[in-house]
Amino acid sequence: MFKYSFDNKRYHTLNYFFKNRFNSKVFKVSLNAGFSCPNKKNGNGCIFCSKGSGDFGGDKEKDLVTQFNEVKDKISKKWPNSKYIAYFQANSNTYAPLEELKEKYETVINLPNVVGLAIATRSDCLEDDVLDYLAELNKKTFLMVELGLQSMHDKTLKLINRGHDLKNFEEAVNKLQERNIFVTIHIINGLPGENKQDMIETVKYLNSLNINSLKIHMLSVLKDTPLERYYEQNKFPILSKEEYIDIVCEQLQYLNKDIVIGRITGDPDPLKLVTPSWLVKKFCVLNDIDKEMKELDIYQGDKINK
């Protein structure tokens, strides 16, 4: 059995990480604090974005405590002794004045059985005063900061209208690491113009930064997004399920074993999805990744130093 898994996975699971750290089942509770995104204000946002990252976040019309309790109450019926990470997921959750950030984070930090915060944001939304506050927060609770990168290739970042370059991203990661903050990175496989080697290079690059955790997504073409229009005009190739699994299985081998895999496939809203249709069967994808790794007898980290 792989060292960093309780359930026969061959990669470092988030479930293992949480249980090992907190000695308990831990769930992330997605919240929508009503933040915006600078990339939307500067243009149309990332071409794949529908209404902002975190389509499955809470209802922003409700206060944060209500959002949290609605999810927590459902979970506690099945796992009564569980603990929680309050997950600020929707949009860019450091894109606001510092006092507003403090008010919203500290609204949930002391709720019963909350053991930490996860804050999803962008590398261009981390001013020095915010970083210093996050360092203080990190001393009070377990803090995870999630940054979207999507690809290490600047040509791709420009194509998808990411709004920042690789240099800006790397500077943000370094600043977070200087403050001993747990860093999770998001990437997307199957972006227009990228081949398998491009995607492998992104993972190799992230491995060299000594990040703490990685979330791997498959590109979703969603309705009413710039990406949908771009796809209709260009018909760029969409990865098949088999191609995606092959790429993920190789990517995992280039990651240090102590990097936590927070996600290994996308999870789009079926009502909004244009393509690929296979992505809606999330557990089939997860099971097929497990099956492929077992058949090939491979594990996370196998290709490190090779």
Q: What is the pLDDT of residues 178-228, one digit of tens each?
A: 999 999 999 999 999 999 999 999 999 999 999 999 999 999 999 999 999
Classify residue 238 by its DSSP letter.
P
Q: What is the pTM of this model?
A: 0.94
Whether residue 276 is preceded by a cis peptide bond, meaning omega within 30 degrees of 0, is yes
pLDDT in tens, 56-66: 566 777 889 88
Look over the chain and give the mean of its residue pLDDT values, rounded to a whole number: 91
Split into its structural domains, the chain has a count of 1
Classify residue 152 by its DSSP letter: S
Residue 41 tokens read as 């204000």
Residue 63 is predicted with a pLDDT of 87
Provide φ and ψ at 287, rounded to 5°. Answer: -65, -40
* Model pLDDT, residue 5: 83
User: Is 59 domain-assigned?
Assistant: yes
Residue 306 lies inside a defined structural domain of this protein: no
Residue 7 lies in a domain: no
Q: In terms of residue numbers, what domain contains 209?
A: 14-296
pLDDT tens column, 59-103: 777 889 889 998 888 888 888 889 999 999 988 899 899 999 999
User: Between 98-108 and 128-140, two packed helices, what is the crossing angle to 10 degrees?
Assistant: 20
Cβ neighbors of 279 (< 8 A, separation 6 or more) are: 218, 220, 265, 266, 268, 273, 285
> Does 33 map to a domain?
yes
Q: What pLDDT is stored for residue 81 in this prediction? A: 87
Residue 97 lies in a domain: yes
Is 110 contained in some domain?
A: yes
Give the ranges where 23-148 is alpha helix by DSSP (H). Answer: 38-42, 64-78, 98-108, 128-140
260 Cβ contact list (under 8 Å, min separation 6) = 4, 12, 13, 14, 17, 184, 212, 213, 214
- CA 208 to centroid of chain Cα atoms: 18
Cα gap 250→203, rounded to integer Å: 10
CATH of residue 221's domain is 3.20.20.70
